[in-house]
Chain A
Amino acid sequence: MSKKVIMNQEDIRRTLARIAHEMIERNKAIENLILVGMHTRGAPLAKRLAANIEDFVGTKIPVGTLDISFYRDDLSSLELQPTVKNTDIPVSVDGKSIVLVDDVLYTGRSIRAAMDALTDLGRPQLIQLAVLVDRGHRELPIRADYVGKNMPSSRHEDIQVKLKETDGIDEVAIISTTVAKEGQ
């Protein structure tokens, strides 16, 4: 097993600042925006992005959290159910522009579940997706509107995101589970 750090605290801060600017640039009516963070690490990322936006243009964007346990498509193959967490979106989603925020985009199944959850909550005008890392290997036709970093990875590798709010440190690393060949 080997670990390689791809992003440190400063890299993450700069990336989130850049994404916030992109959101401001692409959303003319910024007051119509809601950031919805997906548990677990999407939630603190959404909060940080909202804080950045407020810093840059002075608008307070509502932030919500979304739990997709009830919408997963792999429940019948799991031994035990995932622990449910809070879904808490402080304003109505009807007619709003939602940006879903997650730490890693991989197969796309979590995002599909998240979209089902959001449409059960109301009728958003627009749903966009912001992720800190896109590691490829999509199994559904889903793409991110805002990407922090593209990290093509093999299936033997694990992308590990750590954030101060949940893990005490800001860091993105690749963990390799196969043994490296000699001389490489």
Chain B
Amino acid sequence: MTQQKNDPTLQIKPEVPQTASIWQHHHILDVDDFTREEIELVFHTTQAMKEVLSRPIKRVPTLRGKTLITLFYEPSTRTRLSFELAAKNLGADAASLSATASSVAKGESLIDTLGTLQALGADIVVMRHPQSGAPYIATKYIAATIINAGDGWHAHPTQALLDLYTIHEHKGKLEGLKAVIIGDIMHSRVARSNIWALTTMGVEVTLCCPPTLLPFGLDRQHQHLPSVNIEPDIELALDGADAVMTLRLQLERQQSGLLPSIREYIQLYQLTEERLARAKPEALVLHPGPVNEGIELSPAVAHGPQSVINEQVTNGVAVRMALLYLLAGSQKQ
């Protein structure tokens, strides 16, 4: 018998994480209760979803017969579309309910609206709401699976997961990397979720912002808060960074006395090419979108070679498909 040249019996199989023993979530409300293993499972599943997205037919029948409804109390085209596409790519039906100021003014409470969604047969509700904690009410009052697409200042878990996936895809790992988050941390759910997820994965996080926009307690050790560095000087903060995350500045912050002017913010905190050069040469520039060009990012950086902003959008669909897949299952009580 001839010796096989490449004896297939000798190949070593890579370790595949086992969903059943790792995945703990019935809803996705926040990323602060995701274990490291769960986040790695999300990455693994996202990779499979990216493969589906690379096919000529970007569709699999996994969630056939399920209905996903997006309930957005804040306008957002890209996140809403991202979820709807993720659902459709998995064969689910997607519909959207945008609760505008007028329906709220008419007196239809959140509880009433949730009841309506239940009556309409929603299996999955994706909620974006201007008040922190709103999705938690949903989990108590309807049977559907709830995904938080952003609640007030509190959390935007799917954004953090796609941000981390994007960094991971480029760098091959997260442990030991240095990430800097620049901008209005106080009012940012993207910042909070990223702080939690990045620190869980062993990334060293530095926060760079005007002191008036830094929330209480992050500058000290506490059991409820992760350990981060605070550095208000942007050039010092960027030193040796592998990833730079810039946050959108709400222009109203100046009116509420938190900033003397937008002009000063730009002078101190805008990410320019010159400042970016302080980071590592292959450092990634991320932004949750939409970008205020000329405010948090200079146009050159926004469109430059280190920006992965568009990849974040692509990965967003794949990550959301992965999460929908992991959440689907038998009806929970």
Contacts and interface: CB of A to CB of B under 8 A. Distances in A.
Contact of A120 (B13, B16, B45, B55): B55
B257 interface: no
B165 to A, nearest CB: 15
A117 B61 CA distance: 9
A116 B62 CA distance: 12
B275 interface: no
A135 interface: no
A48 B9 CA distance: 8
Contact of B325 (A47, A81, A87, A163): A81
Contact of A85 (B48, B56, B60, B329): B48
B56 A122 contact: yes
B20 interface: yes
Interface string B89-101: 0100000000000
B253 interface: no
Nearest to A17: B1
B143 interface: no
B102 interface: no
A178 interface: no
A80 B8 contact: no
A117 B9 CA distance: 27
Interface stretch (A23-31, A71-79, A126-134, A146-154): A71-79
Contacts of B301: none
Contacts of B8: 44, 47-48, 51, 165
Interface string B1-27: 010111111110100111110010000
Nearest to B56: A122
Contacts of A88: 51
Interface string A39-65: 000001001100100010000000000
A87 B9 contact: no
B19 A80 contact: yes
Q: How large is the interface on B (under 10, 10 to 19, 20 to 34, 35 or more residues)?
A: 35 or more
A55 B1 CA distance: 10
Contact of B19 (A75, A81, A86, A122): A81
Given A80-B19, A81-B329, A87 B62 contact: no
A81 B18 CA distance: 10
A21 B167 CA distance: 48
B52 interface: yes
Indicate the member of A48, A79, A81, A170 with the most B CB atoms within 10 Å.
A81
Interface string A157-175: 0000001111000100000
Given A80-B23, A120-B59, A122-B56, A85 B6 contact: no
Interface string A74-100: 011111111111111000000000000
Interface of A: 44, 47-48, 51, 55, 67, 69-71, 75-88, 116-117, 120-122, 163-166, 170
19 contacts: A44-B8, A47-B8, A51-B5, A51-B6, A69-B48, A70-B60, A75-B328, A76-B65, A79-B20, A80-B20, A80-B329, A81-B19, A81-B23, A81-B325, A86-B51, A121-B55, A163-B9, A165-B8, A165-B11
